[in-house]
Amino acid sequence: MSAGVLVTVGSSRQARPLAVAAASLDLDPMHIDDRAGSTCVSPEDLVASIVAAVRRGGRAALSAVHVVSVARASTPGAVLAVARACEHLAAALPDTALTVFAPSTEAARIFEDKWLTYEHLVGAGVQVVPSRLVTGTELAGWRGGPPVVVKVRDHTGGVGVAAGCSADDFGSVLTVPSSANGVLVAEFIDGLEFSVKVLVLGDLVLPVALVLKEPTRLPLVHGDWKVKMSAPLHVESRPYQLAAAVARSTGVAGYLSVEGILRCSDGAWLVSEVAARRTGSHAIADAVSTSGATEAAILSLLLGRSRPAGQAGSRIGFTLVGRDAARKGPVLDVDHLGEDVDDLSALAGSTLSGVRTRTHYACDRSALPKVCAQLAGDGEGHAASALRELLAGHESVTAEAPCLLGSGTGGS
């Protein structure tokens, strides 16, 4: 007899690693898709589907139900729909021990709107990238001035984002229908893009990884070759403290990614967005790449079956991103964690074409010089120099950091 079920709601691709990990923990994996065609399923239909799936599992399934949101950020309204469904599950399954890892409805409503996110962060005292809201008409008449980054309020994945100094640079944003609801205009910051990944379990905020990306540049081009690197996140570091402050100010349970720019001029960490989507699988992938732990060990921690074990981590995860499905990531003498291929034209509101391939690797920090040499020898000099630059950035804030499973990971 199983110990219960793990129900994932959203993207089937994001749910697969969770299903494998669940089976190893004697949990029956069940998946509910959150999309019908190109639109998200209603919260009421999601609740009905989850309840029906759980009841089909019989008494064992009803004994313990863990629900994890892996809602598609690319489907407008999907994250909010799953959040609303999760808030109604307790009433629909009154005799079940229920655990939900998803943002609250209010958090989902805020984080699906970049301007609401900005206002919330300012109100919470979080240092942010200076921004303001303008109309599409104002943006169309923008002429000259310092460089800015413009974003529509409700899209992700690089859709509806442009940078420059005048309206001629912002055409891709003005063609997105939702730009009629206003456009966020942010100061262009010279620095490194970052993402701080944490798991929020009640009052406990567990560090997962610090991800640094290539320097911000003009012109801003999405989908061309880029590099990003993830490393263990130190609980005493400024980025962890920043993410913990954001977590405390919101109703989030599970995965949280706080994103922004590390400013070159003074080393300030400025937040631009918060992603409370895809609660489980991305957190597990980041934790595996930076700690060397198994997916099952990370899921066990997420479900409260185990506690941090006091193990220090020096693993580095890195991703090479390219806009060409035929051009796979290079074969490197490190752990190959897999590839993701996205159809850019399928993203909601996208004006891009082609595909984006992301190839994921992991290795010990000491192996990075050899990786860089191999990349340079294979004609990937840009990737090699970018990795060196990102490693230097990580070492400036994460010297011998404890990983997700390390001691001292409990911040509240």
Query: Can you spell out the DSSP letters for 172-233?
Result: HHHTSGGGGG-EEEEE---EEEEEEEEEEETTEEEEEEEEEEEEP-SS--SSSSEEEEEE--
In a domain, 309, yes or no: yes
In a domain, 116, yes or no: no
The pair phi, psi for residue 125, each rounded to 5°, is 80, 20
* Separation of alpha carbons 186 and 61, rounded Å: 48
> Which region, left, alpha or beta, applies to residue 125 given φ > 0 means left and ψ of -120 to 50 means alpha?
left
Q: Tell whether 94 and 222 lie within a shared domain.
A: no
pLDDT of residue 177: 58
237-250: per-residue pLDDT in tens?
888 889 999 988 87
8 A C-beta contact, residue 40 and residue 81: yes
8 A C-beta contact, residue 322 and residue 356: yes
Q: Tell whether 295 and 155 lie within a shared domain.
A: no
Q: Tell whether 240 and 376 lie within a shared domain.
A: yes
* Separation of alpha carbons 360 and 335, rounded Å: 9
The CATH code of the domain that includes 40 is 3.40.50
In a domain, 352, yes or no: yes
Split at pLDDT 50, 70, 90, the class of 107 is confident
Instruction: Collapse the DSSP code of 38 into the 3-class scheme (helix H, G, I; strand E, B; otherwise coil) and give the result.
Output: coil
- The DSSP H or E segment spanning 48 is helix 43-56
* Separation of alpha carbons 388 and 24, rounded Å: 37
The CATH code of the domain that includes 331 is 3.30.470
* Separation of alpha carbons 404 and 307, rounded Å: 10
Q: Tell whether 139 and 228 lie within a shared domain.
A: no
pTM > 0.85: no
In a domain, 23, yes or no: yes
Q: Which residue has the higher pLDDT, 14 or 271?
A: 271
Q: Tell whether 244 and 374 lie within a shared domain.
A: yes
Q: Tell whether 382 and 248 lie within a shared domain.
A: yes
Confidence check: pLDDT of 354 > 60: yes
pLDDT of residue 130: 95
Q: Tell whether 265 and 386 lie within a shared domain.
A: yes
Q: At what angle do helices 281-291 and 295-302 cross, to 10 degrees?
A: 120
* Separation of alpha carbons 325 and 68, rounded Å: 30
The pair phi, psi for residue 355, each rounded to 5°, is -130, 160
pLDDT of residue 345: 64
8 A C-beta contact, residue 28 and residue 63: no
Q: Tell whether 154 and 253 lie within a shared domain.
A: no
Instruction: Collapse the DSSP code of 395 into the 3-class scheme (helix H, G, I; strand E, B; otherwise coil) and give the result.
Output: helix
* Separation of alpha carbons 252 and 240, rounded Å: 16
- Give the residue numbers spanning the domain of 247: 191-395
Residue type present at position 83: A
Q: Tell whether 31 and 149 lie within a shared domain.
A: no
The CATH code of the domain that includes 136 is 3.30.1490
* Whole-number CA gyration radius for the chain: 21
Helix, strand, coil percent values for the chain (each to nearest 5): 35, 30, 35
8 A C-beta contact, residue 173 and residue 162: yes
Split at pLDDT 50, 70, 90, the class of 409 is very low
Q: Tell whether 164 and 245 lie within a shared domain.
A: no
pLDDT of residue 131: 94
CA atoms within 13 A on the CB side of 338: 11
8 A C-beta contact, residue 231 and residue 192: no
Confidence check: pLDDT of 253 > 90: no
* Separation of alpha carbons 362 and 374, rounded Å: 15
Omega prior to 308 cis, within 30 of 0: no
Q: Tell whether 12 and 84 lie within a shared domain.
A: yes
8 A C-beta contact, residue 252 and residue 209: no
Question: How many domains are contained in the chain?
Answer: 3
Q: Tell whether 171 and 207 lie within a shared domain.
A: no
Distances in Å between the Cα of 259 and the Cα atoms of 62, 117, 127 are: 37, 12, 12
8 A C-beta contact, residue 217 and residue 226: no
Average pLDDT over residues 255-269: 87
In a domain, 308, yes or no: yes
Confidence check: pLDDT of 351 > 90: no
300-343: per-residue pLDDT in tens?
877 777 765 544 457 788 888 776 555 566 778 888 877 777 77
Strands 161-164 and 183-187: what pairing?
A: unpaired
Residues with Cβ within 8 Å of residue 343, at least 6 apart in sequence: 355
Strands 269-275 and 148-152: what pairing?
A: unpaired
In a domain, 109, yes or no: no
CA-wise closest residue to 21 among 287, 277, 218 = 287
